[in-house]
Structure 1
Amino acid sequence: MALPPTRILPVIDKDNAAYWTWGANGELAIHRCADCGYRVHPPVPFCPACDGRSVGPEAVSGRGRVTTFTVNHKQWVPGLAVPYVLALVELVEQPDVRLVANITHCDPGQVRFGMEVEVWFEPVEDLWVPLFRPARGAA
């Protein structure tokens, strides 16, 4: 009997499609307002800063810092490897844009507040899930 996927996948719509698919090209897509430059996440078709309607996806560097995190030891989904780190990662381009993501490529006990991280993408079906790992070259 096949196990269900270890990730519960999102419902894709016109607003969030870029976030979940641009990883195929190695890009992290975050919505940005063309009127005031404010970045918007989760993606919506308007700017909460200026109420502008010229909002669309734009690639960002994929670099950020761990704002907060938890190490989870419970296997919530069959096939999910534990322990794992669930974190809020603030983007360097705009620290109030925070992404919920797993921190990988290190022991969960090594994750720290303020840790510099970079995005990588895990392909799952036709989506590319943004995950983060310790940044190369970080101090």
Structure 2
Amino acid sequence: MSARGVEADELGARLKVYEGRPAAVAGVGKDPVNLPMIRHWCEAMGDTNPAYEGPDAIAPPTMLQAWTMGGLSGHTGRTGAYDELLGLLDEAGCTSVVATDCEQEYLRPLRPGDEVVFDTLIESVSERKTTKLGAGYFVTTRTDVRAAGELVGTHRFRILKYAPARRTPPAPRPRRPRPVVNRDNAGFWEGVAEHRLLIQRCTDCGTLRHPWLPGCNACGCLEWDTVEASGEGTVYSYVVMHHPPFPAFEPPFAVGLVELAEGVRMVSSVVGVPYDKVRIGLAVRVEFRTYEDDEGTLVLPVFRVVEGDG
């Protein structure tokens, strides 16, 4: 084994010691669950579910982590173990970090007035992994959230703490990022591969929804079918990406939030006009683009500005 490999193994053994250690004990949410924060969240997400309004309002389940955040001043209950773990990684050259994913489990809704208490555990530290970003370690924490002594939800959060890889000349044919396909959205991507834009429809209340979800966010029904969108829409909002640059993309370019004629919104590229000509209200039409790389064929929907509306 090389000296570098021995060093990595030694670091990995030191990191494994932190598995199972608490990162926060009896942490207290900065604020009780409250309607103003719920309103701000719903406005930011565009969520108009009536369950989040009025005297019987509940908090959106996906706000679970928001009630535990310490903000710039931090929160009570921190043990120092997590900071020590990150410090070891910093000393080993793993000075960069990226959040990779999170998982949440909901046991009961939070309601305005609930006081949130939480415990956070360092659940796992991976072996040394080599990624395109660089070599490092995945660290997973689990936060158990309680209200009135009752477990209301669990939040798992995973980061990659890594040493940035040395920059290499760009590949001749950069590969476009692949969408994350799972059991909840596989039908959408199957439709895209057939050049069809499919929207989920609740079979109970008829509400259309996008992105695809396992259940209706209007009535909670788990049964659904699909309708094929016309592909017509308008630019509801947009951003122009300048930085950071990604392989297979040439900034600046426009990314739009497109409102389809059926009423749902979808994020995708806006093409057909220069990035600085994109405007809210532009009429667009879906266009399916095919890319070939070493992983096979990739079909993606983009939205082209309708001729005469640019």
Structure 2 length normalisation: TM-score? 0.40
Question: 5 Å matches for 1:1-139?
Answer: 1-5=171-175, 7-74=176-243, 76-94=245-263, 97-124=264-291, 125-136=296-307
User: Which structure features the higher share of helix residues?
Assistant: 2
Q: What is the distance in 2 between the residues matched to 1:39 and 1:126?
A: 29
Q: What is the distance in 2 between the residues matched to 1:31 and 1:126?
A: 24
Aligned residue for 2:237, secondary structure, equals strand
Shift of residue 117, structure 1, vs aligned partner: 0.6
User: Which structure features the higher share of strand residues?
Assistant: 1
Task: After superposition, give the CA deviation of every residue in 1:47-97 in whole Å (9 maximum; x if it has no partner).
Answer: 111111112332111111111112223352123122210111111111xx2
1:21·1:128 contact (CA, 8 Å) conserved in 2?
no
| Structure 2 portions without partners, runs of 5+ | 1-170
Q: What is the distance in 2 between the residues matched to 1:52 and 1:12?
A: 22
The structure number with the bigger radius of gyration is 2
Aligned residue for 2:189, secondary structure, equals helix
1:70·1:85 contact (CA, 8 Å) conserved in 2?
yes
Shift of residue 138, structure 1, vs aligned partner: 5.6
Give the direction of change, closer, same or farther, for the CA distance of 1:114–1:51 in structure 2 (3 Å limit).
same
Q: What is the distance in 1 between the residues matched to 2:198 and 2:308?
A: 23
Supply the RMSD in Å over aligned alpha carbons.
2.1
Give the direction of change, closer, same or farther, for the CA distance of 1:99–1:75 in structure 2 (3 Å limit).
same
2:198·2:227 contact (CA, 8 Å) conserved in 1?
yes
| Structure 1 portions without partners, runs of 5+ | none
2:233·2:259 contact (CA, 8 Å) conserved in 1?
yes
1:20·1:127 contact (CA, 8 Å) conserved in 2?
no
Give the direction of change, closer, same or farther, for the CA distance of 1:56–1:135 in structure 2 (3 Å limit).
same
1:63·1:135 contact (CA, 8 Å) conserved in 2?
no
Shift of residue 136, structure 1, vs aligned partner: 4.7
Query: Identity rate of aligned residues, in percent?
Result: 36
Runs of 4+ in 1 over 3 A off after TM superposition: 1-4, 124-127, 136-139
2:245·2:251 contact (CA, 8 Å) conserved in 1?
no
Structure 1 length normalisation: TM-score? 0.84
**Structure having greater relative contact order (Cα 8 Å, sep ≥ 6):** 1
Aligned residue for 2:234, secondary structure, equals strand
Shift of residue 135, structure 1, vs aligned partner: 2.4
Q: What is the distance in 2 between the residues matched to 1:31 and 1:131?
A: 19
* Counterpart residue type for residue 117 of structure 1: V
Shift of residue 105, structure 1, vs aligned partner: 1.6
Stretch deviating more after TM superposition (29-38 or 71-80): 71-80
Q: What is the distance in 2 between the residues matched to 1:89 and 1:14?
A: 24
Shift of residue 3, structure 1, vs aligned partner: 4.3
